Structure 1
Amino acid sequence: MSTAALSEQELQERLYAKRNPLPPKQRKLKKGTFLFMLANHVGAVAALLPMFWSWWGLLAFASLYWVTVLGVTLGLHRLVAHRSFETPQWLERLLVLMGTLGAQGGPVEWVGLHRHHHKFSDQENDHHDAGRGLWWAHSEWMLHNIPALEHVDKFTGDLRRDPFYNWLDRWFLLLQLPLGGLLYWFGEANQIHGGGLGLVLWAIPLRLTVVYHVTWLVNSATHVFGYRNFACPDRSTNCWWVALLSFGEGWHNNHHAFPHSARHGLRWFEFDITWQHIKVLRRLGLARKLRLARYPG
């Protein structure tokens, strides 16, 4: 039965019902993913040691944080996953490349899982179902073999036709290698405090770890904390502090009410940084056919 056919009481009972335990084949941890995440978190902590501190490191972190988060929110999410607007192909690919620097899987997998989430949001077959708890929705789901991965191709026929996206989907982790090499060379050549290693630690594991948690907060915190403008058939909420960290993705209830809207912040106080960037692209003639929702107030 679809959520549209359920009464409000039936919907609430489904959303907040106790979840069944994971089947045995899903309980085993994915060792590769676990070790990769552990290494990133260890590297992030190491970056904060005084021996690796430098203003150059902070600059590298901040600039690449902007590049990566904007690539995820504007490129992978609003442009590609929901087709909220159109851009020239070269710009779309650049934005997707920026988002892929976040190492959250390849773009095809990212988009496929996100579209799957919208179809089954907060139901048992939602891979980061908030009904399984805050920690599961935040990141634990990635450490298990989720059935949603088997359906990625079903949701991404448009992307599978593009060889560039298929290449990125396979080799996305390799993007960190030339970036790391360039940063290491710059740090050593300019005798920056902390050296090349310090720059690499700030710009790769620290950046990735912060971007991971900010992205995961959209899956977890904005299905638990905040307020709702719309009675969506899920747990989505608007959370202002997640919106600030994630460049507007925290206005999640608005997004679930209007998934194809390029603007997520719909009320006057819901500041949406990604939307501000889209407006700049529109003024430059680089964003067209925008699909927009408005708050009915």
Structure 2
Amino acid sequence: MSKFWERTFFFGCFLTQGSSYISAYSYGLMHRLHHVHTDKPEDPHSPHNDPNPFLLMWATRNSYFNIYSGKTPVEDKYRKNLPEWKAFDTIAHNWIFRIIWIGIYIAIYATLATAWWQWLLLPITIIMGSFQGMAVNWWAHKFGYENFKMTNTSKNILPFDLIFWGEAYHNNHHKYPARANNANRWFEWDMGYQSMRLLNFLGVIQLKPQPIQ
């Protein structure tokens, strides 16, 4: 995508992720390291290394912040073609904005909540990004079916993915990490890829030819 659209999506991520906002550049590095070291001790988020999903979420958080702060050295070959906007991340990634977002969430709950138990969802709202990442990276290496025999534990969680927008096809993704479409079999449906097709049609992004299977 063009630099204009790239930065538009930076703002979009900030508005939708809120208190869970993470740097696209740092997450890109972490995701590439996950593919290189899947299920090994160096893997930044694998249930193979952590006994429960909450420890996995904490390990992922620490891995991410170590990459973001530069404490974890990353080879230059993994930095190629990642979206980066340092000035924006310096502001959006600040703890002050995280606290502001939490205040906004509390105000929304105070306005719209109609029962006490609804407030129990507030912590999940605050850490939604981490919660979603834990769900995908825990379940997709623990439960599901495999289209491809791999040297790792990656699995496809759902046969028809309307919940994770294609991220449920983790086994497919590990087999073909460069493909935009994570679906592989006739019954698999990748909503994320369909949205990319629409953005490609509108000229917002330009999809590259899909690698041959």
Normalised TM-score (structure 2): 0.72
Q: Distance in 1 between matches of 2:159 and 2:128?
A: 14
Alignment correspondent of 1:262: 180
Alignment correspondent of 1:285: 203
Alignment correspondent of 1:94: 8
Q: How does 1:234-249 map to 2 (within 5 A)?
A: 234-240=152-158, 243-249=161-167
Instruction: Percent identity, please.
Output: 22
Judge conservation of contact 2:40–2:49 (CA < 8 Å) in 1: no
Q: Distance in 2 between matches of 1:282 and 1:244?
A: 20
Q: How does 1:1-297 map to 2 (within 5 A)?
A: 87-100=1-14, 101=17, 103=20, 105-135=22-52, 138-142=56-60, 144=62, 150-152=72-74, 154=76, 155-156=78-79, 158-159=81-82, 162=84, 164-168=85-89, 171-173=92-94, 174-176=96-98, 192-193=111-112, 205-240=123-158, 243-293=161-211
Partner of 1:139, secondary structure, is: helix
Alignment CA distance shift 1:209-1:183 (3 Å): closer
Q: CA RMSD in A?
A: 3.8
Which structure 1 residue ranges, 5 or more long, are not aligned?
1-86
The structure whose Rg is larger is 1
Q: Distance in 1 between matches of 2:111 and 2:44?
A: 43
Q: Distance in 2 between matches of 1:108 and 1:284?
A: 25
Q: Aligned residues, how many? A: 200
Judge conservation of contact 1:121–1:129 (CA < 8 Å) in 2: yes
Normalised TM-score (structure 1): 0.54
Judge conservation of contact 1:159–1:165 (CA < 8 Å) in 2: no
Q: Which has the higher helix share?
A: 1
The residue identity in structure 2 corresponding to 1:95 is: F
More relative contact order in 1 or in 2 (CA 8 Å, sep 6+)? Answer: 1
